[in-house]
Structure 1
Amino acid sequence: MTTEPGAPVTGAERPPSHRWGFGAFLLVEAVLLATAAMVSALLREGRAPGAPVPMRDILIGTITPTVVAAGVALLITVLRGNGPLTDLRLQFRWDDVRTGLRFGLIGLVVTTIGVAVWTQIVGKENATSAIGTLVQDTRLSVQAAVVLFLYLWLVGPICEEIIFRGLLWGAVERLHWGKERWGRVAAFVLSTGVFAASHLEPLRTSLLIVISIPIGLARLVTGRLLGSIVAHQVNNFLPALALLLTALGAMQV
């Protein structure tokens, strides 16, 4: 028996319950922050004050914390649940890919409009993301720029979706209000807000909420993680491409 996208999972199709909850997400967030702090401290050692940030440090500092945190999230599902395929709803379905593409394209439009409006409100110098600011004044090699592009476009969204619309989403669905579970709508709302706030860019939080809504809707509609992963990757393509061109000196932000 097949389930239509967005239809609730019932009966024999309902996966076995996992044993991890909101505490698992908090642990992964702590690992993310601790890894970022440790990597930053290690990379700063021996660097003269005011010296340019080496391209190696940009790549390591950007990629490592999120990849490590996502790895811990996957490990939690293995040790305290039924594995990532079941607990994080990571099954591959072409319908989810198509739904993700649709919401991703909607997200591109929303992101383009949102960034344009936001830039007018706060000014160009305040609208740039943290990684965009870091790359803006640093000329990367072609290899480093391509690695950063592929991470921001493909790998980063997978890791972030595992953490926020996988682990956090599954934790929220297990919470109860009295005898009733919070459910998928609560998971959508909370994961959208936490995802935006977790970037630690207060000025851009409201913009990140707008950007993340189509991504969360892909997860809500399909009931699985692949849709939001694809939507996130599509939504990240143009910003990642802009950073690639900026890093190569072919474009100014």
Structure 2
Amino acid sequence: MNVRGPRPPAWKTLLALLSLSLSALLWVNALLQSLEEPTVVGALDRRQLELTALAAPAVPARLRELLTGAEPLEALRDSLAEQLADSDGPGQPEELLQLALLQSQAGESAGAAQLWRRLQQQIPPEQRALVGALERAEPLAPELLQTLQQPWLLSPLNERLVCERLSAAPGPCGGGSEARRALWRLLGVSWVPGVLLLVGLGLLLRQAWIRIRGLAPSPPPLQGPPLDLVDVTLLIAGGFVLLGELSVPLLLAPAVQALLRPLAQEPALQQGLQVLLLYLALMAAPLAILWGQLRTSPAAAPAAGWLQWRWTPLGTSVQLALQQVLMLLPAVALVGWLTSQLFGNQGGSNPLLELVLTTDQPLALGCFALTAVVLAPLFEETLFRGVLLPVLGQRWGGSTAVVVSAGVFAAAHLSLNELAPLLVLGLGLGWLRLQGGRLGSCTLVHALWNGFTFTNLLLLAG
């Protein structure tokens, strides 16, 4: 349906075009720059291989090939050696230590000797005593071994490998409870998603069959705020991109850093609060613009409001959200796999992934969770499926609106590496908004998706 309102003033149209042009330049530049940013994929792969090796002792022999593979330590050693060979930098001490331990255990003494020397040159003096003892492979009393490990923050697997090389105490290194916990985490990050993916594939096939047979219910009328294309351009290009993504880091980041300076002894909590406060600041300008646009509209809002949240009945919203999340899993996984096969894992990942993966401070993790699982879904769905999609749909049709809003949603994350999977996620969210008419269901899908990713990161991080 084409909707034409009064022609906007020339100054407003000019301001919208200027905002759109500047935003396009900023986004294109940021997307290209993301190719130079570090990716978290290698770290995720390494964490999963570490988890597999840590869980292996708790796996029954008859299931080991299925759950962890025959030689999980060998797989970790080969992957880590390849990552370090491909890296331009010297490598992190923890990675070098792990590879040296694995190579020593496998009898690759020449390669391990080179790594010991690299470590001695790279680490501070207080950490060198442990490296020297590992290089000599001399058994140590438990008390002395514990003293040498104190300057290091060893991962559970590295702690076990160090113990196996140096411990003079009888019995196996590492408790069985640690391996059992690792096994449960491994099942959570590898097998549970696999089962959910199969369930989602079944739901996708069922949905396709319903559509082919013409049994799907008719979608409700597409309702949205009484805005025109100029208003939406000013909201997203002007409010979200220029005032939010560009101005907030430039103007407010120094003030937030100064505010949080008393927490310098808690860098993880400081980082978590900074992420939370800056995201709240980013939300403020576009939401204020949207509030002003709706407040001055002479039109009467429909019964469910301009944004059509329609949370109630809550059971219906939750059911739609769960079904959509499951159906999105195989689609996004397939596109992500194809992207990595065709283009590799070039381009930066969301920096929040690395922060969650390397943080064990509960309050900091709470800040990250609040940002990713609550604020981001509410804010992004308000803009992209609450405003942009219905305004475009009333002029260009529902299908075009779903595609365009999904493209803007994917580009807004400023990562070429994640562009295609995010586009598929945006298409699924837009389709749900079109077919169900509920913005609340879209927000729940987005929150569940981010929560699923967040939980996987926590399981990998341990």
Calculate the TM-score normalised by the size of structure 2.
0.43
Structure 2 counterpart of 1:177: none
- The yes-or-no answer on 1:28 pairing with 2:239 is yes
Q: Structure 1 residues 92-101 or 51-60, which shifts more?
A: 51-60
Structure 2 counterpart of 1:194: 408
Superposed counterparts of 1:221-240, under 5 Å: 221-240=435-454
Identity value in percent: 23
Q: 1:17 aligns with which of 209, 222, 226?
A: 226
Shift of 1:218: 1.1
Structure 1 counterpart of 2:321: 100
Tell me if the contact between 2:227 and 2:391 (Cα under 8 Å) persists in the aligned partners. Answer: no
Following the alignment from structure 1 to structure 2, what is the Cα–Cα distance between the partners of residues 128 and 57? 21
Q: 2:386 aligns with which of 166, 179, 190?
A: 166
Tell me if the contact between 2:273 and 2:364 (Cα under 8 Å) persists in the aligned partners. Answer: no
- The yes-or-no answer on 1:211 pairing with 2:425 is yes
Shift of 1:240: 1.1
Structure 1 counterpart of 2:310: 91
One-letter amino acid matched to 1:32: G
**Larger radius of gyration, structure 1 or 2?**
2
Shift of 1:115: 3.9
Following the alignment from structure 1 to structure 2, what is the Cα–Cα distance between the partners of residues 214 and 28? 25
Tell me if the contact between 2:224 and 2:308 (Cα under 8 Å) persists in the aligned partners. Answer: no
* Structure 1 residues 54 and 158: alpha-carbon distance in aligned structure 2, compared to 1, 3 A threshold: same
* Structure 1 residues 41 and 110: alpha-carbon distance in aligned structure 2, compared to 1, 3 A threshold: farther
Shift of 1:103: 0.9
Structure 2 counterpart of 1:147: 367
Tell me if the contact between 1:149 and 1:241 (Cα under 8 Å) persists in the aligned partners. Answer: no
* 1:187-238 alpha-carbon deviations (Å, 9 max, x no partner): 2111100111011112221221123221221112122311211111222222
Q: 1:185 aligns with which of 384, 399, 406?
A: 399
Aligned residue for 1:8, secondary structure, equals: coil
Mind listing any 5+ residue stretches in structure 2 that lack a counterpart?
A: 1-216, 296-300
* 1:29-86 alpha-carbon deviations (Å, 9 max, x no partner): 1222122343444456799xxx999324432443344434444444334322158962
* Structure 1 residues 104 and 45: alpha-carbon distance in aligned structure 2, compared to 1, 3 A threshold: same
Q: How many residues are paired up? A: 231
Tell me if the contact between 1:28 and 1:73 (Cα under 8 Å) persists in the aligned partners. Answer: yes
One-letter amino acid matched to 2:354: T
One-letter amino acid matched to 2:311: F
Tell me if the contact between 1:217 and 1:228 (Cα under 8 Å) persists in the aligned partners. Answer: no
* 1:157-202 alpha-carbon deviations (Å, 9 max, x no partner): 111111221232244346xxxxxx2233222111100111011112
Aligned residue for 1:21, secondary structure, equals: helix
One-letter amino acid matched to 1:243: L
Tell me if the contact between 1:149 and 1:243 (Cα under 8 Å) persists in the aligned partners. Answer: no
Following the alignment from structure 1 to structure 2, what is the Cα–Cα distance between the partners of residues 236 and 44? 26
**Whose relative contact order is higher, 1 or 2, with alpha carbons under 8 Å and at least 6 apart?**
1
Mind listing any 5+ residue stretches in structure 1 that lack a counterpart?
A: 175-180
Aligned residue for 2:305, secondary structure, equals: helix
* 1:80-115 alpha-carbon deviations (Å, 9 max, x no partner): 215896222222233343222211221233334444
* Structure 1 residues 53 and 160: alpha-carbon distance in aligned structure 2, compared to 1, 3 A threshold: farther
Following the alignment from structure 1 to structure 2, what is the Cα–Cα distance between the partners of residues 32 and 154? 18
Calculate the TM-score normalised by the size of structure 1.
0.73
Tell me if the contact between 1:157 and 1:233 (Cα under 8 Å) persists in the aligned partners. Answer: yes
